[in-house]
Amino acid sequence: PIADLSGPYATETRELAASIREYLALAPADPARIAAGRTLKATGVSWAAKYARGGSARAPSARRAYIAVDAIQGHLAANGAAPFPASKAAKLVVALDEVEALLAEGK
């Protein structure tokens, strides 16, 4: 569904990546985690519905972003406000770095 890798897609994907990074950086006891989790859940669903319908994403950056969104969504659905495991968070940060690099290349 992505015809143009610039404009709204790139902007929304970068914003989503930043939101995921912010969520992962919050301390487990931070009261902002619950609100950030709710916001991220809604934003992730909206992004996936718009750019990766049914889990299908054509652009490499969208595929990597969908993996990150899916991981966050799965964690929030299964574990609620529980802290995201550090090992998985590290892998997610690497995936987000790849998303940003692919966006910079126009992919």
Let me know: does 99 contact 5? Beta carbons within 8 Å.
Answer: no
Q: Is the pLDDT of residue 97 over 90?
A: yes
Residue count (the chain): 107
Range with the poorest average pLDDT among 1-10, 16-25, 58-67 = 1-10
Could you report the per-residue pLDDT of 49-66, keeping only the tens digit for each?
A: 888 876 667 788 888 999
Task: Report percent pLDDT > 70 for the chain.
Answer: 92
Neighbouring C-alpha atoms within 13 Å toward the C-beta of 90: 2
Do 5 and 106 touch, CB atoms closer than 8 A?
yes
Q: Is the pLDDT of residue 1 over 50?
A: no
Alpha carbon of 24 to those of 5, 36, 84, 86, 88: distances in Å? 26, 10, 7, 9, 10
Quick check: 5 pLDDT over 70? no
Name the percent of the chain lying above pLDDT 90: 31
